[in-house]
A = this chain, B = another copy of it.
Amino acid sequence: MPDKASILLAHGSSDPNWLAPFDQLVLQIRDQLHQERVELAYMELADPSLEHSIRQLADQGYRHIDVLPLFFAAGRHLRKDVPAMLDKLQQQLASSGKQLTLELHQPIGLEPEMASAISQVVVRKLS
């Protein structure tokens, strides 16, 4: 079994209409990344939480987890709360014998493909 898994982290909402497109997206991505385990988790207001997903993957033997935020930009959540939570969780898991690498990536909104897609949509819709 490969020991590497990924979590796509979305903000979350109490509104199921908000959540639905993310389910579609993760299906599409799993299709293209079939060699990897890819999960979807939420920062707040929806399940599963990031912590729950990481613990579950750790229990299943995964030892390197990439966390990729589906956010446009990084505010307090991604710059403070999430790194602090990941540090604490990594220590807790290590003390129960699970040495994990948790790699928090920058939000996808900061990647060039996203700026380009946003511009394309705006130009198409407003031209």
Q: What residues of chain B lie closer than 8 Å to A110, measured between beta carbons?
A: 21
Interface string of A43-78 (1 = CB under 8 A from B): 000000000000000000000001010101111100
How many copies the complex holds: the figure is 2
Task: Determine the interface band of chain A, counting residues with CB < 8 A from chain B.
Answer: 35 or more
Chain A at the B interface: SS class:
helix
Query: How close is A46's CB to chain B, nearest CB, in angstroms?
Result: 10
A87 located at the interface, meaning its Cβ lies under 8 Å from any Cβ of chain B in the complex: no
**A interface residues with partner B (beta carbon < 8 Å):** 6, 8, 10-11, 13-15, 17-22, 24-25, 28-29, 32-33, 36, 38, 66, 68, 70, 72-76, 79, 105, 108-111, 113-127
